A and B are shown apart, each in its own frame.
Chain A
Amino acid sequence: MSLLRYATTAFCVAIAVATLCFAALQVVPGDPAMRIAEAKFGADGMSFRTADELREAAGLNEPVIRQYASWIARTLTGDFGVSLVSGQAVLPLVAERLQLTLLVGLVGIAVTIIISVPLGVAAGLRPNGWLDHSVSALSTLLASAPAFLVAILLVSLFAVNLQWLPVAGLRSPQGIVLPALTLGFIHCPELSRVVRNSVARTGQSFFVTFARLKGRSWSRIALGHALRPALLPVVAYLGVLVTGVVEGFVVIETVFNLPGIGKLLVDALIARDLPVVLGAVTIIGLGIVAVHAMTELLANLVDPRTVDSQASTTS
């Protein structure tokens, strides 16, 4: 049931994103064909004749409603057209760039989880203890640092001073280490806070007090009673985390000059490469919906009670 609902949502999101982008691109001031010509041949090499040819080739002189219909039809069959600048097909281009982004994103999320879950649990077990206060202070500081500042500091430490890792680019596999670390670090404050609050709240619940009154050992309470209820908000939070990661990699890929989907999107926006922008945004949107569907399924596994009350607990 949940899967069907998400499939519908994904379908609607795809249509909505496509429509929104299409509508927005229609009202942009300026002639897209001229911009493409400029992007392709430079301001000096372009002429009205090349612009006319490009317009013909991209179908930009057809009626708007027909362009829209053909765009939607093609989107639904997974065909996003060809890049107006390089002439490559959009879907393979996006897919190729997506691999790197997924790799960096997954490693980044792993870094976030490895750092913030233990810290959050430790802080939540003793609310208002010294560890809680230090983790909270560190979180506030880190949450206030822009992603590029974290990147700069990591680069200057590991790449410039210690020279363990490359500064930027992807000439060797080590190139993804610093981007992934940056991505992981900037999301630690949020996740550790969610974990800490969840653990602290569970620790105050009656069943934990009761288990303590029964004389259960501290570790048995933590693992046997408190872990599962404390996990639930954390699992539900992973969807939000992924949205944040999307926000992060657009900047981070630019800082480290990684050819991922974020860099692709920024470059395409600057060149006004219409099909690439639409394709990349649609794919990112679908990815976010997919992740939210997966976190909901995961949340149902951790806590079957949520299956009945999805409307009130999710989103």
Chain B
Amino acid sequence: MTTGSYIAFHGKPQLPAKFWPGVGIAVILGLIAALGPVFIGDENAQNLSLAFQAPSRSYWLGTDHLGRSVLARVIKGAATSLGLAVVAVAATALAGTVLGALSAWCRGWTNTLIMGLANTLLACPTILFVLLVAGLFGNGTWSVLIGICIAKWPAFARLSYIVTRSELIADHVEASRLLGFRTPYILAKHILPGVAPQITSTAALSLASTILTISAVGFLGIGIAPPTAEWGAMVADAIGYFPDAPYAVFGPACAIFLATLSATLIGESLASPTSTSGRS
């Protein structure tokens, strides 16, 4: 487990070169997800006589097996896939950070319980939880969200626990307590600045793996129900016709790839303090 971020080590933020391409892709994808749906028509409009078209002037990314525009569905899917991933990671990061800090603050039984649970869950693959929840409660956005939250909070909890525990015994926190500052003030002023940078980089890397998980679940046909445009489900729809009509696969697959790449680049540049220490 690496502690300390690039910023913490050097005082002045000197981000690696790969940070900016990551941000660039993220901004473009964000704009597409937010504004794109305004410019496209019905993404589910079918025209069977136009199935399996190669990219052309009217269909920039070609059409799928039902003659639907791949571009329109990729744009519509951006809002679904990315929105879900961002919400899932935000909820998970918040829950995990609070639970980890609570665990370090309370110690004793609360600590044993929370961190014991976290360490057990940490060993289990995310997709198992998502499959379990989705299988039990039916396909849908909520099942994917809940499954990801159950699987991913331990990583944040552990990080937050380790940082909070080391901050709590630090001299400046002790001094702050002796000066009579209240717990919420100490948490906000001294603990949070120590936790925040690492949570940010972990959240970015977690976003990357969450995008992959959501697309994998969509691909398995257990995630968001059709005909809602979702990148993983789009690949699953098109893969049966792959050798003859690769365009319908490559549109959504490249979108997943770009989104994950962007999150990975940002996460890695925030996480890598020096050339020798890597992410945990």
Contact = CB atoms under 8 A, between A and B. Distances in A.
B278 A194 contact: yes
Contacts of B131: 250, 265-266, 269
- Dominant secondary structure at the B interface: helix
B5 interface: no
A98 to B, nearest CB: 15
B181 interface: no
B122 interface: yes
A149 B126 contact: no
Nearest to A314: B119
A315 B122 contact: yes
A152 B249 contact: yes
A201 B277 contact: yes
Nearest to B235: A148
Interface in B219-277: 219-222, 232, 235, 239, 242-243, 246, 249, 253, 256-258, 260-261, 264-265, 268, 275-277
Nearest to A13: B120
A148 B125 CA distance: 17
B274 to A, nearest CB: 9
Interface stretch (B53-61, B69-77, B95-103, B208-216): B208-216
B275 A149 contact: no
Contact of A281 (B132, B220, B265, B276): B132
A244 B128 CA distance: 11
A132 B132 CA distance: 40
Nearest to A268: B135
A106 B219 CA distance: 24
Contact of B275 (A145, A155, A200, A243): A200
B137 A149 contact: no
A241 B216 CA distance: 18
Contacts of A128: 275
Contacts of A140: 18, 261, 264-265, 268
Interface string A22-42: 001100110000000000000
B123 interface: yes
Contacts of A281: 128, 132
Given A204-B276, A250-B131, A146 B216 contact: yes
A21 B132 contact: yes
Interface of A: 13, 16, 21, 24-25, 28-29, 127-128, 132, 140-141, 143-149, 152, 155-156, 160, 193-194, 196-197, 200-201, 204, 239, 243-244, 246-247, 250-251, 254-255, 265-266, 269-270, 272, 277, 281, 284-285, 288-289, 292, 315
Given A146-B215, A149-B253, 18 more contacts: A16-B120, A24-B136, A143-B260, A146-B256, A147-B212, A147-B216, A148-B219, A148-B239, A149-B235, A152-B242, A152-B253, A155-B242, A200-B276, A204-B276, A246-B127, A251-B219, A254-B220, A284-B128
12 contacts: A127-B275, A143-B260, A143-B264, A144-B208, A146-B253, A146-B257, A149-B256, A152-B239, A239-B123, A247-B128, A250-B128, A269-B134
Interface of B: 18, 119-120, 122-128, 131-138, 208, 212-213, 215-216, 219-222, 232, 235, 239, 242-243, 246, 249, 253, 256-258, 260-261, 264-265, 268, 275-279
